[in-house]
Structure 1
Amino acid sequence: MFSKNKDPIQIDGYQSYGTKDHLYLIGRALEHEGVNLEKTGFISAFKNAFKQFATDELRHAKLRVTLPDDSVFYTTTDAEGYFKVDEKVEGLGELTNSEGWLQLYVSFDDVDKDVVVIGKNKFPCEMLIPSQTAEYGVISDVDDTILHTGVASLLKWRVIFNTLFKDVGKRTSLKGAPELYQKLHRGKSGTAANPMFYVSNSPWNLYKYLETFIRNQLFPKGPILLRDFRGPFEKTPKPEKPHKQHEIRNILKTYPDLKFVLIGDSGEHDVDIYLEVAQEYPEQILAVYLRSVNHKKKVLRVQGVLKKYETTPAVLVEKSEFAEEHARSIGLIK
């Protein structure tokens, strides 16, 4: 298998989420393009960006998934190299670490001897199982919520520039955001392991980039939920609901007994998506925080929407400190 591959091959395992009896894993099998996010400089940033999108996927590859107890599952990649494991498995909660992470490995099941496989054919993959003692969960947007992006800029030129020409090490988080998220992660008790989920409209091609940013900026670790990149000639029908809304609803349905805090910004459609979700699941949403972006017209619109909304606490905040004060006032953090 893959005997014609000249480049080394690899598997990117994405951080996902599941339950104590439901194994759900996702990732992608690709040729190794030599992306090195540790390299700095304008040219290196552009090369990395290009390589992340100019991928050579490994279609219909048989993969082997090994759990910590040595139980094994098999899956096959689709036409774009993506794989998914969706299985009922008992006792998964007993295999997690103290933060609720199930750590396992994915490997190519059948590889010709002349094919070079990165990492000795052992690729890490993780699934989060929220602790039964978690106080609540947090679902957060990424662009202009934790990461300075420029989504609200004219024609989104800042998004394009930052993605193509800025090293991940030079990308900055919004002031005070890592500290706020760490406090939410630890909850009112200060010792909780509240699950964190990051939802973005960015394509899966940027997964490693965003994972590195979240880790470097000291945000709490959590599943990063992105979307497939749709080309201009994509024939598959568009989903009925926006990607973010679809992902948030899936999380709420997966953990019906867990309440959540939603965090987004005023620059895109977060206010409409979040408030619709909160109205649909009023018993599960503790609060909605929307960061104020530098766009007067959009801020005024959000202010108008929030004035009419009374289902759950929903606040437009200019600084992380304001969100922290409100979260403390309603008993979310210590």
Structure 2
Amino acid sequence: MIEQEAPTEGRRTGAHIAAVIEDRIIAVVGRLLHRTAGWVPRIDAYTCFGTPRRVRVLGRVLLGPRRIGSGPPRPVQRGFRSFLTLPEPGHRVVVTVGDTVVETVSDRAGYIDVEVDVPPEAPLHPGWQGATLRTATGAEARAGLLVIGDDVRLGVVSDIDDTAMITAVPQLLVAAWNMLWVRAAARRAVRGMPALYGRIAAAHPDAPFVYLSSGAWNTARTLRRFLARHGFPPGPLLLTDFGPTDTGWFRSGRVHKTTSLRRLMATFPRIRWVLIGDDGQADPEIYAAAAKTHPEQVVAIGIRTLTRTERVIATAGAAKDDAPTNRPTRPTSPPRPDVPTVVGRDGDDLAAGLESVPHLLAP
């Protein structure tokens, strides 16, 4: 068994006061709920992905009532149930991928994010595999693991909010309603988006779809159900966590997306990505910057243009660095002459524009 070093966050100094207060509240409330209400550690396993030789395993250790921690999840539930938990920091977790076993520790928010190296003499087979996460108290979860072969040359990175799913993030009141009360079955897909993604998947059966959003990890289960219900290709989610960090009161969605894209391109240097988002927040600028930095790894950019009302809702309450700096709904210029940028009101419009990209929507 390989033991990973404990996250440095647990030993950090000079952290933002909000993060220090949050850590202390979690510690006190966690002990109280464990002793008086019988809350127990459980683990949420998120979809994992990687190469045949190295995979990224994602999950979260949480404290929750026994009725949440045991038994199969309800097929449809309101979003607020996903928040009836408490992070369990510093909890040891054993990760198993094939015959490789790694031990790691959850960070200050309970998250597990570890890269597992597979023996070179026994690489993983491309396609869907599995990983197991087991806590020190015996709770266990099985995660889907997408192994992306070395011969794959095309992939899709997609935003979710207002790109795949009609929503209203980050307007605070509407976002809270969507996350905490609206059932997964009641959420609506943006017209034409499932069909567009289906065409790309049909033309490129091995293409990975990565759903990159500034939404909270607490909504991962609801988002997976939404994507499956509306026929979107399955794929890993890359979400973030609300609340304070070591440097500020809230996490930056722009930084999350930028660093996630950079890491994806470093992990899969041979893949060229189709980047799809919307102009309600900073997607056009983030994707343009990625195309300028990694022009050989971006095949096209697709931007859904929100209506005036959608745009006002989407930008109200956004963090300053997450709001778009361009007010026009259409980019004033492409990120690079050789990276086509297509804009449209929905998936049908984007599909029409992407027809001009060679071999994207047809083999």
The answer, yes or no, to whether TM exceeds 0.5 is yes
1:29 aligns with 2:56: no
Cα offset, 1:126, TM superposition: 3.0
| 1:240/1:163 CA distance change after superposition, 3 Å | closer
Q: Within 5 A, what are the aligned runs for 1:181-200?
A: 181-187=197-203, 192-200=205-213
Deviation (angstroms), 1:323: 2.0
Q: 2:187 aligns with which of 139, 158, 171?
A: 171
After superposition, residues 50-61 of structure 1 pair within 5 angstroms as 51-61=81-91
Q: For the residues of structure 1 that align with 2:241 and 2:360, how far apart are their CA atoms?
A: 34
- Conservation of the 8 A alpha-carbon contact between 1:262 and 1:289: yes
C-alpha distance 211-91 of structure 1, shift in aligned 2 (>3 A): farther
User: Is 1:315 matched with 2:342?
Assistant: yes
Conservation of the 8 A alpha-carbon contact between 1:146 and 1:174: yes
- Whether the aligned pair in 1 keeps the contact of 2:220 and 2:237 (CA below 8 Å) is yes
CA shift digits 1:63-97 (9 cap, x unpaired):
222223x4322112223221232232235984346
- Report the CA distance between 1:311 and its aligned residue: 4.4
For 2:122 and 2:74, the matched residues in 1 are separated by: 33
Q: Does 1:80 align with 2:141?
A: no
Q: Which amino acid aligns with 1:74?
A: E
Shift of 1:62: 1.8
Counterpart-to-counterpart distance in 2, 1:240 and 1:150 = 15
Matched-pair contact (CA < 8 Å) for 1:96–1:103: no
Residue 297 of structure 1 deviates from its aligned partner by: 10
| d(CA) in 2 for partners of 1:103, 1:308 | 38
CA–CA separation in structure 1 for the residues paired with 2:213 and 2:252: 16
Paired residue secondary structure (1:87): strand
Give 1:328 deviation, angstroms: 3.1
Answer whether contact 1:20 1:90 (CA < 8 A) is retained: no
Deviates further, 305-314 or 261-270: 305-314
Superposition pairs of residues 4-19 of structure 1, within 5 angstroms: 4=35, 6-19=38-51
Q: Which moved more, 1:124-133 or 1:175-184?
A: 124-133
Cα deviation, 1:7-40, whole Å, max 9, x if unaligned, reads 3432111113222221321211112345655346
Across the two proteins, how many residue pairs are aligned to each other? 307
Report the TM-score when normalising by structure 2.
0.75
Answering whether residue 230 of structure 2 is matched by residue 217 of structure 1, we say yes
Mapped to 2, the partners of 1:220 and 1:10 lie a distance apart of 28
Q: Deviations over 1:152-193 (max 9, x none)?
A: 8xx4543333223210111111112112112212325xxx22
The alignment status of 1:244 with 2:257, answered yes or no, reads yes
Distance 1:157 1:56, change over 3 A: closer
Deviation of 1:316 after TM superposition, in Å, equals: 0.8
Identity in percent: 26
1:71 maps to a residue whose letter is T
Residue of structure 2 aligned with 1:325, choices 335, 343, 352: 352
1:220-277 deviation line (CA, Å, top 9, x unaligned)? 111100112224xx44356796211111111111111110100001111111111111
The SS at the match of 2:180 is helix
Runs of at least 5 residues in structure 1 that lack an aligned partner in the other structure:
112-116
- Give, in whole Å, the separation in 2 of the partners of 1:160 and 1:141: 19
Gaps of 5+ in 2: 1-30, 312-325
Shift of 1:194: 0.4
Say which SS state the counterpart of residue 152 (structure 2) adopts: coil
Q: Give TM-score, length-normalised by structure 1.
A: 0.81
Matched, 1:65 2:95: yes
Q: In the alignment, what sits opposite 1:132?
A: 150
Deviations 1:22-63 (A, max 9, x none): 1321211112345655346xxxx3xx41x4234222222222
Moved more, 171-180 or 291-300: 291-300
Confirm or deny: 8 A CA contact 1:20 1:92 kept in the other structure: no
Output the amino acid matched with 2:94. R
Measured in 1, the distance between the counterparts of 2:180 and 2:237 equals: 20
Could you tell me whether the CA contact under 8 Å between 1:285 and 1:312 is conserved in 2?
Answer: yes
| Equivalent-residue separation in structure 2 for 1:39 and 1:236 (angstroms) | 37
- The equivalent residue for 2:12 is none
AA of the residue aligned to 2:217: W
Answer yes or no: is the 8 Å Cα contact 2:334–2:341 preserved in 1. no
Between 128-137 and 88-97, the greater mean CA deviation after superposition = 88-97
